[in-house]
Structure 1
């Protein structure tokens, strides 16, 4: 069974989609898919579906949802070959003591692949291989098609996991941009960072990276404007000032800009003395 979570939910068996349309059945599939290979306790499933206020029929209703999923899985399973034991939906969506387990039987997972590639990218950057790190982190980020569980109704558990995944994506993105800056790709980053800073208006490190890219591209005033906007947003929305590191970067850009301006204002004949 192959699972894609980084965007809309896609679960398939042998290339055939196993996708319920009913929101709560889809929700059950999403949490089982996220924890594929692990037993998901009935209590966790119940809390996810009914937010701590399950109806009296919760257990029976959950069993009905599992039955509907097994019916979809059955439709995707191939006919058994001669002399071979038929694979059943119960072999894939398994009933276990205290819960259910989705057995992927070695199938793919975009979350697991993202984590694998990002981990390799972090190690490459840590070893000083910024080109390799940027490539691996870029490959991990390319797996994302949108927000996690984009078309799934989210309960408490899935909301928490979606937030954790988004934070992991931002960390990978941050490290990939950092590696690109070290490789002198500041001009190539400008368009991407323009969008990111607009989307994550209080993310200081993205602003720092944008300021550095603008400074290295000779756009000092634009870099200072990024700082001004961030400072205003932090003060207005959070009652905070930018970090010490960001304030030091701003002063560095101001000094760099003033020195360049002073140098440009000196007559050429005087410079030659």
Structure 2
């Protein structure tokens, strides 16, 4: 089997047929019950009665089938301010009504160092998440804004997404957000989509099947091998080939859940 981090390197080789198997798992089980499985995006309140309804359009169906929503695990209602020393800090605007303790929120959600912001006066905040995606063949995952979900109160900024090969670089995701209008709060409710994950496959017309993956000793060891590399190397993409050379041939083992009675 050839995994390859570059699609170009796989030309002329045999690719799998049928759907591409993508696995997901949580890299920590502590409080894991609050994290919902990624769900395929589907139109809500769809109208299928009319033959020309957009919900019956093959192009719409094909587009939606390629996106999986990752939902917010708890209510977030925060504001931006600076302390007496001018340091940027977050304010929990929910106060005593907040369902999450301030200490726990601070462990999960934080502002990045101001010198690392991409634009002056545009803070970047990060919500740490335990979601990891894995595949045993060349698959690139892109993390994008949930553009097919309507928000009554739009967020005051933009999602900071990314694209990387999950077959050689499975890593915990985070929700990164650039806060362009800090006079407005960030409010996200539990169950709202934080972002979409979409997957590039070979050939491109193959569908994606998502399943929860078993955290095997081999997968744990491989994750340990690549974890924390960003703390030591500026361009982690340069490590993809080195990681691929040390990757076991198979890491994805879907969990078989018992069916309900």
Question: For this structure pair, what is the TM-score category when the shorter chain's length is used for normalisation?
Answer: under 0.3
**Higher share of residues assigned helix:** 1
* Higher Rg of the two aligned structures: 1
Normalising by structure 1, we get a TM-score of 0.21
Q: Which has the higher contact order (CA 8 A, sep 6+)?
A: 2
**Higher share of residues assigned strand:** 2
